[in-house]
Chain A
Amino acid sequence: MTAKPAKGISFLLKTAFINALVALVLFSLMVGIRTEAGSDGQLTYMTRFGELASLVGIVFGGSIVIELLRQWIGPTGTEKLVPPAIQSGMSFVGRYLAPALLIFTLLVPVIFYNQRYILDLAILVLTYVMLGWGLNVVVGLAGLLDLGYVAFYAVGAYSYALLATNFGWSFWVCLPLAGILAAFWGVLLGFPVLRLRGDYLAIVTLAFGEIIRLVIINWQSLTGGPNGVPGIPRPTFFGIPLDNSDDGLAAKLGIEYSSTHRIIFLFYLILALALLTNWVTIRLRRLPIGRAWEALREDEVACRALGINTTTTKLTAFATGAMFGGFAGAFFATRQGFISPESFTFQESALVLAIVVLGGMGSQLGVALAALAMIGGFELFRGLETYRMLVFGMAMVLIMIWRPRGLIGHRAPTVYLTKAQAISSDLVKEGHG
């Protein structure tokens, strides 16, 4: 981008005026007119010119502000020099952030013992951290764009729910089973998509996610259809129930029973599962298979030329990611006590994917922080249920424009040549060159 001379006020006003005009046309019918079904079932409409005018005004003002900001910040694409003091400060924070966060997370139930709301929220955040880490194996490490991750979450949840309600199996037996079943489905999905890449892969995984959801809705005799599965047993402390009975954990330990115990147990359960996911991922990354995933992400053709079996590499990535999704699903089922297909829509997949991308695909810490930011941000908009997804969508677009490589940073391959050669990015783009 060439540096342009600073533009005058007339340019500002002209841009803002054009933007406002476009906004006026865009919003004229959709916002200016509100359709409503009348008492006789006929549609009627009323005008909302006030809202329309204020929206157009916002666009007018907003474009002036954005244009001013743009001139103030300067042309995009220039490298900004960060003072060394800040750089070393950043690296200091970067080094100690993860352990600090982990210690804080471990202490959350102690600090917020009486605040049920915060504990519930923390469990929710950790569930998404786990899902994010699971999907990170597929998207961040192996570079396979998966838009149907929620399918494995659903498989895990329904596996546990159905096994537990029909056969009365305990959570600790079902948890590995749910993971294995989800991994099995991951392989099943992996087979057909082995030959696909990029966008095709995305759309097939999306279709797969929808197929699973539609089958769950329609296979009423097994899954209860849209009514879901109620009465899923709560988890036990390795066989000891966490309730008010004489066999309960509280009675055995001789302490007074409190319903918070179960919440705290769930909290540490999901924390353990999430940390397991993280640990396995970090370990796998150092094994040949992890190296192969990263190589596959960087360049599939080169991978094949080097004799890496892309079939097994892709399948293991899918299976591993799916297995963690299945674990998270089983946890979700036991925590909720009730599951229905509504929890497994495409929006969930997109949310988890957004967490992985915002976290800077491949970065474990980034994913955790992104999950915290996303779910926390969602909670802020709890009162405005309808605006929530609108804001979420806008945030996704804006972040892609602003920091397409993620908020936290992006994980470079674990192994690389120490002496990097500067070559144009045009030469290394996928499918070109």
Chain B
Amino acid sequence: MDYFAQQLINGLVLGSIYGLIAIGYTMVYGIVGMINFAHGDVFMIGGFIALITFLILVSFGLTAIPVILLVVLLVSMAITALYGWTIERIAYRPLRHSFRLAPMLSAIGMSFVLTNYSQVAQGARVKPIPPFITGGYTLHESTDGFVIQLSNIQIMVVMTTIVLLAIFTWLVSRTRLGRDMRACEQDQTMAALLGVDVDRTISMTFVIGAALAAVAGLMYLLYYGLVDFFMGFVAGIKAFTAAVLGGIGSLPGAMLGGLAIGLIETFWSAYFSVEYKDVAAFSILIVVLIFMPTGLLGRPEVEKV
């Protein structure tokens, strides 16, 4: 039971990170109707920028942890958001009225560009950082000595996710931008006729998605203590799986799917085999799509002729 509780905590933390990435996928799919294949790599870039900012701040002799965290968070969100904007501008906008496969292939190309760009720029080795946020709480200690740990970093990851989700939900449901986004999702032509700047709205969607991915990158860096240039690929597919599981286009669905994938992966590793955890996650993607093509919270797609 204790082991189960510990895995539950770990799974929720991992799921939060996946959820943050999945939101980027689901938002873009909802509005533009394409899989932003490069989104996993945007997450990786976010992790790298957080790492570099962190290193610079520490070398300047800054020691106050909250200040460092805040600066790293803001810098990585800002620069990664600019990456998201640039990618949309260069690789997707010219293809918006092209045939269906074109943006997808362009996105695959962009994903290669980003992966290899960071490999060329920062080297292929894994970049570790020393444990930064330490300590935690012992929730429960059983008679046979198994301890349920809840570390500060885990609390931080989950709290940040909840706060960001709250801000994000407010943004989508209450602001002008959110209204524009929902309008574009329903009908771009009509939205444009009614005075919504579609290009700007789509750009902002990419910016917000990239900023959330940057937060996920920072969380990943703090939680696992390392980044490498290839981490975006697998994380990206899993986050996409999460988005599909939750019902692509649905924002709460993305978070729910992220948590589900995080839990499934953690429990699979804990009770079955670590080697096949990715196989389990991908198999779930296939099974979900067979039996529930619209995901958990998605709307059924009506096909008109």
Do chains A and B stick together as partners? yes
CA distance in complex: A429, B189 (Å): 15
A73 CB to closest chain B CB, in angstroms?
14
B17 to chain A, nearest CB (A): 20
In the complex, whether B152 has a CB less than 8 A from a CB of chain A is: no
Cα distance A30–B207 when bound, in Å? 18
C-alpha spacing A334/B36, complex, angstroms = 38
Known: A25-B79, A29-B49. A215 touches B279 (CB 8 A): yes
CB pair A199 B121 closer than 8 Å: no
Q: Mark B47-77, 1 if CB is under 8 A from A, else 0.
A: 0110111011001000000000000000100
Name which residue of chain A comes closest to B129, CB basis: A43
In the complex, chain B residues whose CB is within 8 Å of the CB of A49: none
The answer to whether B285 touches A390 (Cβ under 8 A) is no
* Chain A, 345-395, CB within 8 A of any chain B CB: 346-347, 350, 353-354, 357, 386-387, 389-390, 392-395
Q: Is A431's beta carbon under 8 Å from chain B?
A: yes
Q: Does A218 reach chain B (CB closer than 8 Å)?
A: yes
Task: Let me know if B240 and A203 touch, CB within 8 A.
Answer: yes
A206 in the interface, Cβ–Cβ < 8 Å?
Answer: yes
Q: Contact between A400 and B285 (Cβ–Cβ < 8 Å)?
A: no
Quote the shortest CB–CB distance from A26 to chain B (angstroms). 6
> Most B CB atoms within 10 A — which of A31, A33, A353?
A33
Contact A26 to B113, CB < 8 A, known contacts A34-B121, A45-B55, A192-B286: no
Cα–Cα, bound, A401→B107 (Å):
11
A409 to B47, CA, bound (A): 41
Cβ–Cβ < 8 Å partners of B125 in chain A: 37
**Does the CB pair B122–A207 fall under 8 Å?**
no
Interface: A195 (CB within 8 A): yes
How many residues of B are in contact with the other chain, CB < 8 A?
Answer: 73
Q: Which residue of B lies closest to A209 (CB)?
A: B282
Q: How far is the CA of A365 from the CA of B284 in the complex (A)?
A: 39
**A47 shortest CB reach to chain B, Å:** 10
Query: Given the complex, which residues of A lie within 8 Å of B55, measured CB to CB?
Result: 33, 35, 43-45
User: Contact: B113 with A37, CB < 8 Å?
Assistant: no
A389 close to B106 (CB less than 8 A): no
- Any A CB within 8 A of the CB of B117: yes
Partner of A357, one of B49, B52, B83, B101: B101
Q: Are A214 and B278 in contact (CB under 8 A)?
A: yes
Instruction: Known contacts A26-B83, A30-B48, A43-B128; decide if A397 and B278 are in contact (CB<8 Å).
Output: no
In the complex, A405→B101 CA distance in Å? 10
Contacts A145-B101, A387-B116, A396-B106 given; indicate if A346 touches B233 (C-beta within 8 A): yes
Using a CB-CB cutoff of 8 Å, which residues 221-258 of chain A contact chain B?
none
Q: How close is A409's CB to chain B, nearest CB, in angstroms?
A: 14
Partner of A386, one of B91, B120, B286: B120
Residues A386 and B119 in contact, CB atoms below 8 Å apart = yes
* A200 contacts partner chain B, Cβ-Cβ < 8 Å: yes
User: Chain A residues near B115 (CB, 8 Å)?
Assistant: 389, 393
A403-433 CB contacts (< 8 Å) to partner B? 404-405, 429-433
Q: Is the CB of A30 within 8 A of B121?
A: yes
Q: Which residues of A contact B34 (CB under 8 A)?
A: 199
Q: In the complex, A160→B305 CA distance in Å?
A: 46
Asked if B82 contacts A218 (CB within 8 A), the reply is: no
Name the B residues within 8 Å of A211 (CB-CB): 279, 282-283
Q: A37-B127, A395-B109 are in contact. Are A30 and B286 (CB under 8 A)?
A: no
Please determine whether A210 and B282 come into contact, CB atoms closer than 8 angstroms: yes
A309 CA to B113 CA, complexed, in Å: 41
CB neighbours (8 Å) of B108 from chain A are 147, 350, 353, 396
* Alpha-carbon gap, A229 to B45, bound state (A): 36
Nearest CB of A to B73, in Å: 14
Residues in A whose Cβ lies below 8 Å from that of B121: 30-31, 34
Contacting pair B122 A35 (CB below 8 A): yes
A195 touching B293, Cβ below 8 Å: yes
Apart from A25-B79, A206-B237, A354-B105: 20 A-B pairs, beta carbons within 8 A: A26-B83, A29-B53, A30-B49, A35-B52, A43-B51, A44-B55, A145-B101, A147-B108, A203-B35, A203-B240, A207-B285, A390-B112, A390-B116, A393-B110, A393-B111, A395-B109, A400-B106, A404-B95, A404-B98, A404-B99
| 5 closest cross-chain pairs (CB), A and B | A396-B109, A393-B112, A393-B113, A390-B116, A207-B282
Q: Would you list 28 pairs from A and B whose C-beta atoms are within 8 A, ordered by A residue?
A: A25-B79, A30-B48, A30-B49, A30-B52, A30-B122, A33-B56, A34-B121, A37-B127, A43-B128, A147-B108, A192-B289, A193-B286, A196-B289, A203-B240, A203-B285, A208-B286, A218-B276, A302-B305, A305-B305, A357-B105, A386-B120, A393-B112, A393-B114, A393-B116, A395-B109, A397-B91, A400-B95, A404-B95
